[in-house]
Amino acid sequence: MSQQANPFYYNTPEWYKGGEPAFYDAKSFPISEVLLEHQPTFKEEALGLFSRQPTSFQQNFSPYNTDLKGWRTIVLFSYGLINKKNIEKFPKTWEVLKDIEGLSLLMFSVLQPQTHLKAHFGDTDAIVRHHIGLHVPAPHPSIALRVCQEERGWSEKEVMSFCVVNRHQAWNKTDEPRLILMSDTIKPEFAHRKAEVWSKVLGAEATKYYSNKWPWTKCFPISLTRLIHWSGSLFIRGVILWHKFRYRSIYPGKG
């Protein structure tokens, strides 16, 4: 994995042109071993809730005008923000993963039968996204993730790690739901800039959300857009600090 001086954030109209690959070697990340070791625990909690309360998994939020129908998620932790109610639904999962170095996102993801998610992208190359299968009804190509021009299927016995800032799409062409655990970790070279990465990712999502809600803001010069992103990120950093104080008893110790 290459070393870089500064993260890329999607607060510009330009596509990502960095040198990060589509997929990484999952074994090079400490979280991979933990995900594999405790996969049965994650599976038990997730399938248990999904079978009892499938509506607990909500349509995934997107700041874009992208149709994500059929993609349902339940988020425990997102870039410094705690969802206490959801953590209480998955106590064993949270206990295992809450102190993973650089943990930035933790959520369960369901891809409904006969669903194809159009190409979309994440907000920064400062993180690595990891998937592990919990219920995968069929191998590639029936169920798959495509990043750039490379396709891979999910597995319950293998972790998939990739660069989320690259355009990617996913599909499930079977008649059963696909269920995975999704987590983001900060790259080691940006570990000391955790607060910056978290706040700027959430700031980028907010900027894009409001630009789609109010299209006339897309006419702003890029310098103004970046100023709005920077200002919003400062506010969000304060919200993150509040979450860290309010939920200090369960907050990630090494996150």
**Residue 1 maps to a domain:** no
E-strand ranges in the chain read 23-24, 58-59, 71-78, 81-82, 103-111, 115-120, 127-135, 143-147, 150-152, 159-162, 168-172, 178-186
Note the pTM of the prediction, 2 decimals. 0.92
**Residue 171 maps to a domain:** yes
Q: What is the pLDDT along the chain (255 residues), one digit of tens a residue?
A: 566 778 888 766 667 877 899 999 999 999 999 999 999 999 999 999 999 999 999 887 665 555 568 999 999 999 999 999 999 999 999 999 999 999 999 999 999 999 999 888 888 999 999 999 999 999 999 999 999 999 999 999 999 999 999 999 999 999 999 999 999 999 999 999 999 999 999 988 877 666 666 676 767 777 777 777 788 899 999 999 999 999 999 999 754
Could you tell me if 73 and 156 lie in one domain? Answer: yes
The boundaries of the domain holding residue 215 are 192-246
CATH of the domain at 77: 2.60.120.330
3-state class percentages of the chain: helix first, strand second, coil last, to nearest 5: 40, 25, 35
- Short-list 205, 213, 217, CA closest to 79: 205
Report CA dihedral (178, 183, 187, 190) to the nearest 10 degrees.
140
**Residue 18 maps to a domain:** no
Could you tell me if 140 and 221 lie in one domain? Answer: no
**Residue 16 maps to a domain:** no
Could you tell me if 229 and 115 lie in one domain? Answer: no
- Short-list 2, 3, 16, CA closest to 204: 16
DSSP 16: P
CA distances from 19 to 2, 8, 85, 98, 249 (A): 8, 11, 39, 30, 39
The type of residue at 166 is N
Question: Rounded CA gap, 73 and 53, in Å?
Answer: 13
Contact 15, 144 (CB under 8 A): no
Contact 29, 87 (CB under 8 A): no
Model pLDDT, residue 18: 79
| 142 alpha-carbon distance from chain centroid | 23
Model pLDDT, residue 100: 96
Could you tell me if 168 and 210 lie in one domain? Answer: no
Could you tell me if 175 and 76 lie in one domain? Answer: yes
Could you tell me if 34 and 126 lie in one domain? Answer: yes
- Looking at the structure of the chain, the number of domains it has is 2
Could you tell me if 156 and 197 lie in one domain? Answer: no
DSSP 156: T
| Sign (positive or negative) of CA dihedral 66, 70, 74, 77 | negative
Question: Rounded CA gap, 248 and 253, in Å?
Answer: 9
